[in-house]
Chains A and B, each alone.
Chain A
Amino acid sequence: MTTAFDADQVAKIALEVVAEHDPKQVPLPEFLGACYDAGLAWVHFPEGLGGLGTSRGLQAVADDILQGAGGPVPLGLNPMGYGMAAPTVREHAQTDEIKKFFLRPLATTEDIWCQLFSEPGAGSDLAGLATSAVLDGDDWVINGQKVWTSLAHKARWGLLLARTDVDTPKHKGLTYFILDMHAPGVETRPLRQMTGQAEFNEVYITDARIPDSHRLGAVGDGWRVAMTTLMNERSALGASGSRRGAGTISEAVQLWASRPDLHTPVLRDRLTTLWLRAEAQRLTSERSRASATAGGPGPEGSIGKMVGAELNQRIYEFCMDLLGPEGILYHGYAMHGTHRDGDWRGPIQQRYLRSRANTIEGGTSEVMRNILGERVLGLPGDLRADAGMPWKDVPRG
């Protein structure tokens, strides 16, 4: 196939999929498997790997039809899988067989994925991480602790960044792996957060083994591979709804409209300012999509991530200020049994508390501003106390 699929062809394929595998009738894995086999999971991926080798802008054409027929939003079902693992596996796995082995069950959501990057000692300075990987025959032996791992308790596979060389500067000693979350030596514990819930986990890894074939990219090239993941994460986190007024701002407008007894001119202007910020970001996402190429997300995704995170906080702060004394009640801090997922549809007070994480998770707003300054505006990097220093000599704590 030398000519790229156009919008009409993508639409035709999508219509065939929903005709033969009605998402309202067939089991979810069958429907998503059919989407994968038809090349609609990620249209910009190569044919045979869940894609059609065409422009990623055409994904919206397929999604409109698939979701319009009652299909799910796959990113919501397997967020780390669809948003981060898929592009990283596609780009860096060692063979097409390995790519297929991982991608199809990822696409059907039979295999949930998680991301094992952050550590107690490595947050914004991710490249300083300490989890070690040591080669033993054809396997790598992993030891360390990861944190803030959402979905680890459900995941079959984890994207793991580990240190394979302690004698080089920090970025150069990293290697990227896929960890079997069911492997011996992998222990997942819930991590309770300020909302009272536990949507994240700590993962303790003790002598867990990974076959070398599950390494992504070259030994020592893990940082570059991780950039694929992070750029896609920020782009996914920053993607806002394409409909005017959708997303978090709709919650504030709905709360406003439902409580005319609480209206004041000052709050009205504040909400308008927030609405305008949300609208400006929505239009910027649209503009970014219009100029996007098949090349993948660029640093401008950092704008959406940063603005979205800060806007979420300001919107929920507005909601709290609107509610006044009513807002300082809660629905309880019980752990809700074994249900450890973040409940995004929880009461507004919980969303308010949850939004504090928005400017930390997936890259702090401070890191985002560094990225915008350095990669988009071309400003010089900050002075680094650990520049050129072997990782083992860098002060930590």
Chain B
Amino acid sequence: MAEFSFTTEQQELRAAVRKFCADNFDEPTVRTLMESDVTYDPAVWLRLGSELGVLGMSVPEADGGVGGSLVDQAVAVEEFGAALGCGPLFGTVYLAIPALVACGSGPTRDELLAALVEGERTAAFAVNDSAGGFDPNVTITAAGSGDAAVLTGTAARVVDATAADVILVAAKGSDGVSLYAVDAAAVRRTPLVTMDLTRPQADVIFSDSPARLLAGPADAERVITHALQVGAALLAVEAVGAAQHMLDLSVEYSKSRLQFGRHIGSFQAIKHRLADMLVDLEHARSTAYHAVWALTDGTDDPELAVSIAQAVCSAAFSRIAADSIQVHGGIGFTWEHQAHLYFKRAATDAALLGSAESRRARVAELVLDSATVDEPPPVAVGIA
């Protein structure tokens, strides 16, 4: 499975997911769902899991998955990104399922993982991150131990919490930070109005909420770190899919829109902007899939690969979405045009799981601060 080489099966998977999205996540449907109380269609979600099998593609067969790879999952996610596919992808597919895969086997974990993969249940990941990495400053507290634990505290701005059946949450007990599963019925949720209506959030309030242990203090950091890395890689891939859609839309528009008696794409001011968008998109695609491959076969340090991908993809998607509005002119600023949906998704993706700036800071630590002087270039000192 050489890096950047997609198999025939993966190409077929891409086509199948694209068709499913065209049938189920067309623009009118996305708009209807994003403005309704339940922001996704549970029946369609169930089909994604049980029919297409694209919610937990890298889950091992022994855990009820199809035993594919993270590359497969990424191919599907890229198409979801292009369509702004509705449903708790971020909470369930990007974060909760990878976290559960990394947890040791046990009744709670096995039963929940199988239900999430099948699309029968959904999850949100109420774990704070620090610039996309594990954050040891956990404010939610756990009392009691094991499956008798109860949690108290508030998790703010939890993506997909409104749609979740189960909340995965990090809480601090007397022995350290553990990862728990809490039924949504046992918490209070305050839905928040999000800028991107297709990616809802809620504050989640735990109040002596019964919790089941997924990973104890010895494992929780490893499990959460793994989930955050996989989640960041998939979020980067989602941005690539969405950015590609925006570029396609902008290219089509500039081939059809006439001003001054010419297609606007014939003007270099437009053409060169689109060329720059293409370069940013191709760069984003390369870094996102490199991160996916690094997490798949360990050919690169996952933390560095994911940080590179997040830094590049967040910036690229934001720029491409903004430039798409500019290329479209006035129509691109209207509610009726879809550009704003993607612009808002770009702003959201850029802020989630570490900003481009915080990721750049991490890259600087990993690359620049450790650089040793081997062969500095000569500097002229004014002597001929």
Contact between B271 and A374, CB atoms less than 8 A apart: yes
**What are 10 A-B pairs at a CB distance below 8 A?**
A271-B364, A272-B360, A276-B363, A287-B4, A303-B282, A323-B379, A326-B379, A327-B379, A370-B268, A379-B271
Contact between A273 and B360, CB atoms less than 8 A apart: yes
User: How far apart sit A287 and B274, CA to CA, in the bound complex (Å)?
Assistant: 21
By the criterion of a CB under 8 Å from any partner CB, how many residues of chain A are at the interface? 60
Return B183 CB to nearest CB of chain A, in Å. 42
Given A254-B375, A368-B275, 18 more contacts at CB 8 Å?
A253-B371, A254-B373, A254-B377, A255-B376, A257-B376, A272-B363, A279-B287, A287-B286, A290-B3, A290-B4, A300-B282, A326-B381, A327-B379, A347-B378, A369-B272, A379-B251, A380-B262, A380-B265
Contact between A276 and B311, CB atoms less than 8 A apart: yes
User: How far apart sit A323 and B267, CA to CA, in the bound complex (Å)?
Assistant: 40
Q: Hey, what's the 0/1 contact readout for B332-376 against A, CB within 8 Å counting as 1?
A: 000000000000000000000000010011011001100111111
Question: Which residues of chain B from 272 to 311 have a CB within 8 Å of any chain A CB?
Answer: 272, 274-276, 278-279, 282-287, 289-290, 308, 311
The contact of B285 among A251, A287, A369, A376, by CB within 8 Å, is A287
Find chain A residues with CB under 8 A from B193 CB: none
A348 lies within 8 A of chain B by Cβ: yes
Find chain B residues with CB under 8 A from A268 CB: 364, 368
Find chain B residues with CB under 8 A from A42 CB: none
Find chain B residues with CB under 8 A from A331 CB: 380-384
Pair count A-B, CB < 8 A:
167
Contact between B289 and A369, CB atoms less than 8 A apart: no
Return A241 CB to nearest CB of chain B, in Å. 14
Contact between A372 and B279, CB atoms less than 8 A apart: yes
B162 lies within 8 A of chain A by Cβ: no
> Does more than half of chain A's interface fall in helix, strand or loop, or is it mixed?
helix
Interface residues of B (CB under 8 A from A): 2-5, 251, 254-255, 262-263, 265-268, 270-272, 274-276, 278-279, 282-287, 289-290, 308, 311-312, 357, 360-361, 363-364, 367-368, 371-384
Return A156 CB to nearest CB of chain B, in Å. 33
A166 lies within 8 A of chain B by Cβ: no
Contact between A307 and B373, CB atoms less than 8 A apart: no
Find chain B residues with CB under 8 A from A245 CB: 367
Return B4 CB to nearest CB of chain A, in Å. 4
Q: Hey, what's the 0/1 contact readout for A371-397 against B, CB within 8 Å counting as 1?
A: 011101111111100000000000000
The contact of B271 among A279, A280, A351, A373, by CB within 8 Å, is A373
User: How far apart sit A287 and B263, CA to CA, in the bound complex (Å)?
Assistant: 33
Contact between B279 and A307, CB atoms less than 8 A apart: yes
Question: Which of A287, A345, A347, A377 gathers most chain B CB within 10 Å?
Answer: A377
- Chain B residue with Cβ nearest A326: B379
User: How far apart sit A272 and B368, CA to CA, in the bound complex (Å)?
Assistant: 8
Find chain B residues with CB under 8 A from A372 CB: 275, 278-279
Contact between A348 and B380, CB atoms less than 8 A apart: yes
Return A242 CB to nearest CB of chain B, in Å. 12
User: How far apart sit A379 and B270, CA to CA, in the bound complex (Å)?
Assistant: 10
Contact between B384 and A276, CB atoms less than 8 A apart: no
> Does more than half of chain B's interface fall in helix, strand or loop, or is it mixed?
helix
Contact between B276 and A283, CB atoms less than 8 A apart: no
- Chain B residue with Cβ nearest A258: B376
A284 lies within 8 A of chain B by Cβ: yes
Interface residues of A (CB under 8 A from B): 245, 251, 253-258, 268-269, 271-273, 275-277, 279-281, 283-284, 286-287, 290-291, 300, 303, 306-307, 319, 323, 326-327, 329-332, 334, 345-351, 366, 368-370, 372-374, 376-383
Top 5 A-B pairs ranked by shortest CB distance? A332-B384, A329-B382, A280-B283, A373-B271, A283-B286
User: How far apart sit A286 and B271, CA to CA, in the bound complex (Å)?
Assistant: 26
Find chain B residues with CB under 8 A from A303 CB: 278-279, 282
User: How far apart sit A319 and B312, CA to CA, in the bound complex (Å)?
Assistant: 22
User: How far apart sit A331 and B285, CA to CA, in the bound complex (Å)?
Assistant: 42
Contact between A287 and B289, CB atoms less than 8 A apart: yes
The contact of A381 among B266, B290, B378, by CB within 8 Å, is B266
The contact of A276 among B254, B312, B379, by CB within 8 Å, is B312
User: How far apart sit A272 and B359, CA to CA, in the bound complex (Å)?
Assistant: 10
Question: Which of B267, B270, B278, B372 gathers most chain A CB within 10 Å?
Answer: B278
Find chain B residues with CB under 8 A from A378 CB: 251, 255
User: How far apart sit A173 and B254, CA to CA, in the bound complex (Å)?
Assistant: 33
Contact between B255 and A284, CB atoms less than 8 A apart: no
Contact between B272 and A255, CB atoms less than 8 A apart: no
The contact of A369 among B2, B268, B308, B380, by CB within 8 Å, is B268
- Chain A residue with Cβ nearest B362: A272
Find chain B residues with CB under 8 A from A256 CB: 368, 371
User: How far apart sit A272 and B285, CA to CA, in the bound complex (Å)?
Assistant: 19
CB contact under 8 A between A369 and B364, given known A257-B376, A379-B271: no
Contact between B275 and A275, CB atoms less than 8 A apart: no
Find chain B residues with CB under 8 A from A380 CB: 255, 262-263, 265-266
User: How far apart sit A383 and B266, CA to CA, in the bound complex (Å)?
Assistant: 7
The contact of A253 among B251, B368, B382, by CB within 8 Å, is B368
User: How far apart sit A242 and B278, CA to CA, in the bound complex (Å)?
Assistant: 22
The contact of A373 among B4, B275, B368, B378, by CB within 8 Å, is B275
User: How far apart sit A180 and B44, CA to CA, in the bound complex (Å)?
Assistant: 71
User: How far apart sit A394 and B88, CA to CA, in the bound complex (Å)?
Assistant: 62
Contact between A329 and B268, CB atoms less than 8 A apart: no
Find chain A residues with CB under 8 A from B368 CB: 253, 256-257, 268, 271-272, 275
- Chain B residue with Cβ nearest A328: B382
